[in-house]
Structure 1
Amino acid sequence: MSSLRALLIVLLLLASGLWLGMLDQKVAAQQTHDPAPMEVTTDTPEYCVYLQDRLHTLEVAAVAPPPHEVTDLSAEGRRMCNHGQTRGGIMRLRRALLILRHDDPPASR
């Protein structure tokens, strides 16, 4: 009975070793196919300030005034960030950035 238990343990160890080896190969293959590293963002007040600065830079460089939706979203995002509602503020600031980028003609980007 103990030899059967030992055989079962050896088979389980071999199977788990093979599975881990296949998993490592899959992760390595996926890493070689990733085109660029991910940009990590956080829900911090510093990121709010960063987005506000980017928005301001794009608004100043724009040829025409920004759409009302961009103005409203950026004002609301700034207000929320200033009152500690960073996640909601970041969402609005990002949306304003997307609209502003989409609204610009390709030559001014």
Structure 2
Amino acid sequence: AISKWQTEWEPEAEWDRNFNIALRRAQEKAWRGTDKFFRGCESHAREGRSLLRQLQRVAQTLGAGRIPREHLVDKYLQVFDLIVVLMSEVKFFEVKLHEYAPSIPLSKVSEI
């Protein structure tokens, strides 16, 4: 589910550049394209937060089971790595949304 959620903007160092390219393409389609782009960004961040909550539940259930310590450590490290990947992308989109539309309803983004 996480690999399907992630953008195709890898590597992370290119996210900003790729965001700007995608935004310019959206702006070429006038305000509707821009609104759709930012709705997509908002939806992407929201879905990422949902995945983070699911990973939190996975981590909580790991601690409740009877898994040998060496397996438990490996599972926690895998979950931690996934959390880092998810959180990085979620925060990137949240910051971009705030940068371009701070405290403005999504319906008004095209007026900026």
Superposition TM-score, scaled by structure 1 size: 0.32
Flag the structure with more relative contact order, 1 or 2, with Cα contacts below 8 A and sequence separation at least 6.
2
Superposition TM-score, scaled by structure 2 size: 0.31
Say which structure is richer in helix. 2
Bigger Rg, which one: 1
